[in-house]
Structure 1
Amino acid sequence: MTHTTQLPDRQPARVRNGTPHTAPPPTRQRRRPSSQQWAAWGFLAPVTLYLILFYAYPLYRNIDLSLRHYTVRSFVQGDAPFTGPANYLTVFQDPTFAPALLHTALFTAVCLAFQYAIGLALAVFFNQHFRLSTTLRALFLVPWLLPLIVSASTWSWMLNSDSGIVNAALHAVGIGPVSWLTSPTWSLVSVITANIWIGVPFNLVVLHSGLQSIPTSLYEAAALDGANAWQRFWHLTFPLLRPVSAITLLLGLVYTLKVFDIIWIMTRGGPADSSTTLATWSYQLGFGNAMPAFGPGAAVGNLLVVTALVFGLIYVKVQRKQQAP
């Protein structure tokens, strides 16, 4: 008795344009992620979770606050009515908006200019590698390492009208006392001075790191060509330091826009709103009154976020143009 093995039936070939055409092979199954892919997702998961919890969700909540009419009761119960852009219109029509915007612009521009200029000068100075340069550079980091509440309280004591060391020094040279913190003329100058002192070390550290990456052979070649110190700085140091300068100014801008604690501790935005910025005004609206205005306060905060985002996009666009062939 013979056994025959039956072969599976093959589908007949289709004829297309006079030539036989077989059916396409079955599609392959999707490959499972490899161990390296799972490891990559494992490393990304904590960062993604952190960004969602501490950046995306607070930003979403702030946008929601600015688009609803929140009171203390509705803030707890969560039944605030939707008002759309009404809170933003309230902010724009408020008489405090224009002075706060002007103070924010002046505070940011003056602080950035002096912090960068002083930080660059110190970075070039410490780049000479003289004796005790490392020790002195470490001492310049003290204002940056101190808690802001300590720095602001120290400046408040130094600029006190009655017992401050600054007025005592002025009296020693025959100049009368100045109401640094209680005069509308000097209050903004006082907080700007304190913030410049705090921000210079950051500029010093970043710019000094950028100077370390410039080859010394370029300076030697320029010196052989007869270039003096100023020409070497203007034609070598400054252009080669431009990428580092750009990121330093951008980070300084973002930080200075949101400065709150220094101003609040020293002047509380006063007197008569003479040192009020958008950051301090946002806090006053949301938490500084017996009847808090959560919606307008969140709207002012969102204006600061949009401003920082715009400058960040400008920086990215400029960097892409510089890197384009």
Structure 2
Amino acid sequence: MAQATLTRTVAVRRGRGRRGESLTKVLFVLPAALAMGALFGYPVVKNLVMSLQDYGLRTFFTGEAPFIGLKNYSAMVSDQLFSQAMVNTALFTIGSIAFQFGIGLALALFFRRRFPLGGLLRSLLLLPWLLPLIVSSATWRSILEQDNGILNRTLTGLNLIDQPVPWLNSPSVALIAVIGVNIWIGIPFNVTLLYSGLAEIPEELYEAGQLDGATGWRAFTHITWPNLRAVAGVLLMLGVVYTIKVLDIILGLTGGGPANATQTLATQSYERSFVDFKFGEGAALSNLLIALSFVFAIFYLRSTRRAVDE
């Protein structure tokens, strides 16, 4: 009897201790959760509410923003620029991610080999990623200038072109130029993460593979890529989330032109809100971007969990 009473007492004390520990954990997390809710939750909710209102310039003077339901979303979809912006966003994202990852992987494999000044070159490679995007855009705008840009002068001097290419002024070329600049900016981020992933692969695997004849391409397909796949999955998903909402680079280079050739969902949302002052429609477009980013963020979180498990 005494033993049973003692057991129940110990169990009660353990239960109270666990509840106390749980309460302590909640109290430690609560300030961060409140801050996150205030800084991120409120703007998202406010943006969702704005997208359901006739929120325009006069709202700042009258304070009135009538509820109009899904009319802003209907206006967004029926806009003739919407389909073009969707296509441009897809091309911009896929083109940027594909080349950023491919070039980043090649450079990461290159820098994995030890050679003099390799660490210095790898550090210098980070500069494009560390520069402010507006600075990078202004620099590339001068480089890609049709008449006096250094790129056209170089290509003309090498007799590779007869006439200067209107990189930022031609609807058929502008999107390619913008994608190229975004690739240049994103390569260092890909190199850094992929190089870190390669550094985690044990050298013993390659030594064992050499005994079985797994060298060169076979070593990459049977050793490198299987061990790098988790990092690559996270990197690709994270790159999509970042790239799909790029605004600074496009505004700095073309402003969405010429003839809306570089118009994306992000630039269209900006123009609706801060050029046309149709904040409701701008909010609807930004909500679409949030939804797309959220979908890829789910894949990112699942990839991260899978990478941790592996």
TM-score, normalising length from structure 1? 0.85
Deviations 1:223-277 (CA, angstroms, capped at 9, x unpaired): 1111121110111111111110111011100110110000001000001100000
The residue number in structure 2 matching 1:61 is 46
User: Rg bigger for which structure?
Assistant: 1
The residue number in structure 2 matching 1:236 is 223
> Partner letter of residue 78 of structure 2?
Q
The residue number in structure 2 matching 1:198 is 185
SS at match of 1:157: helix
The residue number in structure 1 matching 2:292 is 307
- Structure 1 residues 322 and 209: CA distance shift in structure 2, 3 A: closer
Once residues 288 and 247 of structure 1 are traced to their aligned partners in structure 2, the CA distance between those partners, rounded to angstroms, is 36
Which of 215, 220, 226 is matched with 2:207 structurally? 220
The residue number in structure 1 matching 2:149 is 164
2:193 maps to 1:210? no
Deviation at 1:129, TM superposition (A): 2.1
Deviations 1:179-238 (CA, angstroms, capped at 9, x unpaired): 111110111011101100000000011111111111111110001111121110111111
RMSD after superposition: 2.4
2:140 maps to 1:119? no
Once residues 221 and 76 of structure 1 are traced to their aligned partners in structure 2, the CA distance between those partners, rounded to angstroms, is 73
> Partner letter of residue 28 of structure 2?
F
Once residues 284 and 160 of structure 1 are traced to their aligned partners in structure 2, the CA distance between those partners, rounded to angstroms, is 24
Deviation at 1:100, TM superposition (A): 0.4
Once residues 304 and 184 of structure 2 are traced to their aligned partners in structure 1, the CA distance between those partners, rounded to angstroms, is 29
Once residues 245 and 258 of structure 1 are traced to their aligned partners in structure 2, the CA distance between those partners, rounded to angstroms, is 21
Deviation at 1:69, TM superposition (A): 0.6
> Partner letter of residue 106 of structure 2?
A
What 5-or-longer segments of structure 2 have no aligned partner? 1-11
Work out the percentage of aligned pairs sharing the same amino acid. 46
SS at match of 1:258: coil
2:268 maps to 1:275? no
The residue number in structure 1 matching 2:123 is 138
What 5-or-longer segments of structure 1 have no aligned partner? 1-27
TM-score, normalising length from structure 2? 0.89
Once residues 32 and 320 of structure 1 are traced to their aligned partners in structure 2, the CA distance between those partners, rounded to angstroms, is 30
- Structure 1 residues 32 and 230: CA distance shift in structure 2, 3 A: closer
2:132 maps to 1:147? yes
- Structure 1 residues 135 and 323: CA distance shift in structure 2, 3 A: closer
- Structure 1 residues 251 and 235: CA distance shift in structure 2, 3 A: same
Once residues 268 and 105 of structure 2 are traced to their aligned partners in structure 1, the CA distance between those partners, rounded to angstroms, is 32
Once residues 42 and 129 of structure 1 are traced to their aligned partners in structure 2, the CA distance between those partners, rounded to angstroms, is 49
2:31 maps to 1:50? no
Which of 176, 183, 188 is matched with 1:189 structurally? 176
2:249 maps to 1:262? yes
- Structure 1 residues 322 and 158: CA distance shift in structure 2, 3 A: closer
SS at match of 1:72: coil
2:42 maps to 1:82? no
Deviation at 1:324, TM superposition (A): 9.0
SS at match of 1:112: helix
- Structure 1 residues 267 and 313: CA distance shift in structure 2, 3 A: same
SS at match of 1:92: helix
> Partner letter of residue 86 of structure 1?
K
Which of 246, 258, 275 is matched with 2:233 structurally? 246
Deviations 1:70-105 (CA, angstroms, capped at 9, x unpaired): 122324554311111111010000000010000000
The residue number in structure 1 matching 2:8 is none
> Partner letter of residue 97 of structure 1?
F
> Partner letter of residue 111 of structure 1?
S
Aligned pairs, how many? 296
- Is this contact kept in 1: 2:230–2:306, CA < 8 A? no
Once residues 32 and 234 of structure 1 are traced to their aligned partners in structure 2, the CA distance between those partners, rounded to angstroms, is 52
